Amino acid sequence: MFFKGCPLRCAWCHNPEGQSHEIETMVLQSGERVVCGRDWSVDALAEELLVNADIMAQSGGGVTFSGGEPLAQADFVSALAVRLKEKGVSVALETSGAASAADYRRVVSLMDFVYQDLKLLDPAAFSRWTGGSLAQVMENIAWLRGAGVPFVFRVPCIPGVNDSPQDRTAFNAFAAGAPIEFLPYNTAAPAKYSMLGRTFSLTAPPLP
């Protein structure tokens, strides 16, 4: 499930349609218009997802909450996760960690697995490239390490931003033996910006 709305504004974001909480329209090159987003109630979405609950429970499959940032809708995700787990469906969270400690802990405690982003390890660089607070993310990661919920760190490798050999060494050291994956940059991202009437530019925002 992709949740719309994210508190960060990563310069390389490959899901620009996931940043705004509002329903948006993408205009494809063919001229076709695609509506991004839909309002759901917990009841309606649980019902939709549970149509395949038996198959998911038998196969060990489940639902991953992604985005955008699912923790920006922590109440909704918590309620939905409880409903799915009652039916034996496993739930996973893909998060930047940019959320309050209370929301992070409440939602992660319900999860069977967490994909935790690692973007940058320097506070000034993190703030400059994402608009967010690394301290908040680090507080949540420190808690995750001892929470007992299985997780993997995921690094989106952004050319010229965090993909040097030194960066990789630093990320591996930070993981300290925890599982870590390095993901190649999604080169389809720029096209999505023009479909939303926005401009893509992978350049560092100016220093304050």
Q: Give me the residues that bind ligand SF4 (CB under 6 A), please.
A: 6, 8-10, 13, 15, 18-19, 67-69, 96, 130
Cβ-based nearer residue to ligand SF4, 89 or 93: 93
Work out how close the CB of 167 gets to ligand SF4 at its nearest, in angstroms, rounded to a whole number: 17
Give CA–CA dist 167/187, Å, rounded: 20
- The pair of structure tokens assigned to 143 is 């808690």
Work out how close the CB of 105 gets to ligand SF4 at its nearest, in angstroms, rounded to a whole number: 19
Which residues, 6+ apart, have CB-to-CB distance to 12 below 8 Å?
Answer: 129, 156, 158, 161, 185, 189, 202
Work out how close the CB of 55 gets to ligand SF4 at its nearest, in angstroms, rounded to a whole number: 29
Give start and end residues of each alpha helix (H) in the chain.
42-49, 53-59, 74-86, 101-108, 123-130, 134-145, 165-175, 189-195
Cβ-based nearer residue to ligand SF4, 44 or 191: 191
Give CA–CA dist 140/128, Å, rounded: 20
**DSSP 3-state percent helix, strand, coil across the chain (nearest 5):** 40, 20, 40
Cβ-based nearer residue to ligand SF4, 115 or 174: 115
Work out how close the CB of 193 gets to ligand SF4 at its nearest, in angstroms, rounded to a whole number: 12
Work out how close the CB of 130 gets to ligand SF4 at its nearest, in angstroms, rounded to a whole number: 6
Cβ-based nearer residue to ligand SF4, 50 or 190: 190
Cβ-based nearer residue to ligand SF4, 62 or 67: 67
Cβ-based nearer residue to ligand SF4, 61 or 205: 205
Q: Which residues pair with 25 in a beta bridge?
A: 35
Work out how close the CB of 186 gets to ligand SF4 at its nearest, in angstroms, rounded to a whole number: 10
Give CA–CA dist 74/22, Å, rounded: 17
Task: Identify the H or E element spanning 181.
Answer: strand 180-183
